[in-house]
Amino acid sequence: MSVVTCQLSVSLDGYVAGPDQSRQDPLGRGGLRLHEWLFAADRWREQHGRAGGEPGVDSQVVDEVTRGVGAYVMGRRMFGGGEGAWDESWRGWWGEEPPFRTPVFVLTRHPRRSLPMAGGTEFHFVTDGIRSALEQARAAAGDREVAVAGGASAVRQYLGAGLVDTLQLHIVPVVLGAGEPLFAGLTDLRLEQTRVVAGPTVTHVTYRVLR
Amino acid sequence: MSVVTCQLSVSLDGYVAGPDQSRQDPLGRGGLRLHEWLFAADRWREQHGRAGGEPGVDSQVVDEVTRGVGAYVMGRRMFGGGEGAWDESWRGWWGEEPPFRTPVFVLTRHPRRSLPMAGGTEFHFVTDGIRSALEQARAAAGDREVAVAGGASAVRQYLGAGLVDTLQLHIVPVVLGAGEPLFAGLTDLRLEQTRVVAGPTVTHVTYRVLR
């Protein structure tokens, strides 16, 4: 059965986005700093249709976390914002050729027809909960990984339900002080460090989630 | 002039102690888990007069962070608990032969005579603030390092005042959810990752504090 993975950039105080998140500023105040390492990685830029960037350890990490994925699960805001955006003409904010290139199962309360995009991404909208979305993603992924892509709320739900096998944190030397806390309500989480990769500016640590 | 260092074990959500700290339980609920890697390191055990433990990467880290220190600064609670303990007969909770083996400058509001202990540790009590304690520690350390030993409140004050040169975090795969937050009030902190050491269970990351 598919391994369920999850990887996020996190501040030293455990936030995955800064305070005052909004439609215009989904990463919140200071939150962009969590992703600078990623935006500078040539592999990420290539996946997102942008030129330039740096090769190296961070790019290898990006390559690893995407290469084995056969399907994604994500929250509705990660697909494309708040409830107001849920008419059928709204195609999300990933552009016409999203970087996923696999089936993507979007958690929502609003039924909607599946949405095929260029480049292999197809968004499916799941209204009956996180376990159903995961089952559908597993079926689509075959023996490849299912990645819980985000946002933080979806990740917390999957972690809290014991449905994630490996968690990779990109630990960024930034203090946000407030914002979206990755670990809220997860004091029972038991993790075992399995791998450490030192990037030039951030540290990538992989944990096995113990049951 | 002495380099000023600081090293702490921190949870993934940025706490250096759990909730409900007390004289009986100074690490708070779950806080002991932050230090299991340390208590298992043979070098730490040797420094604290205990047998056994494991050699290896964690022990090397312990050795490195103590070897170069010429003087310590610490808060009063780290010396020996709350204000109630401040009579001259109370010799702190480090035993008759504390592991520091250098001068130790204790931040307090209560003047007290210096307290020489076995093994080279001498506690000095500083009532005129963190800068004064640091100056005295620098003078005592010569060209060796000054280490801000803790607790979290003292560390936050020194970090907030821009007086720390390097911060080493031992990042422990534990979620505490509440307790003593290392980074409270420190959103302006600017850190640059300089070194990553993978221990078997925790990751040791060193940061340069930028001015």
What CATH number does the domain containing B174 carry? 3.40.430.10
In the predicted structure, residue B26 carries a pLDDT above the cut 80: yes
Given pLDDT bands bounded at 50, 70 and 90, which one contains residue B85? low
Mutation site, A188, A196, A201, interface B, largest B CB count within 10 A: A196
The pLDDT of residue B146 is 98
CA A165/CA B134 separation, integer angstroms: 46
CA B16/CA B13 separation, integer angstroms: 9
Query: A196 has which bridge partners?
Result: A205
Cα four-point dihedral sign B99, B103, B104, B106:
positive
Q: Is residue A90 part of a domain?
A: no
Segments forming the whole domain that contains residue A131: 4-18+28-80+97-188+195-209
Given pLDDT bands bounded at 50, 70 and 90, which one contains residue B77? confident
Q: Are B53 and B45 in contact (CB under 8 A)?
A: yes
Q: Is residue A111 part of a domain?
A: yes
Q: Is residue B86 part of a domain?
A: no
Q: Is residue B162 part of a domain?
A: yes
Q: Average pLDDT per run of 10 along chain A, which is 211 residues long?
A: 95 97 88 96 91 94 95 93 69 91 95 94 96 98 96 96 98 97 96 98 98 83
Give SS3 for B132.
helix
- Rounded to the nearest angstrom, the minimum Cα separation between A166 and chain B is 13
CA B207/CA B7 separation, integer angstroms: 10
The pLDDT of residue A162 is 97
Residue of A nearest to B33 (CA): A190
Average pLDDT, stretch B6-22? 96
Nearest by CB to B12, from A14, A177, A192: name it.
A14
ipTM above 0.90, yes or no: yes
Q: Is residue B91 part of a domain?
A: no
Q: Is the pTM of this model over 0.90?
A: yes
Q: Is residue A182 part of a domain?
A: yes
In the predicted structure, residue B124 carries a pLDDT above the cut 90: yes
Given pLDDT bands bounded at 50, 70 and 90, which one contains residue B200? very high
The pLDDT of residue B82 is 65
Under an 8 Å CB criterion, which residues of B touch A?
Answer: 10-14, 30, 169, 171, 173-177, 181-187, 189, 191-193, 196, 198, 200-203, 205, 207
Query: Is B14 in Cβ contact with A187 (below 8 Å)?
Result: no
Number of domains chain A contains: 1
- Residue type, position A135, single letter: E
Average pLDDT, stretch B8-16? 98
Q: Is residue A106 part of a domain?
A: yes
Structure-token pair, residue A7:
């990887």
Q: Is residue B87 part of a domain?
A: no
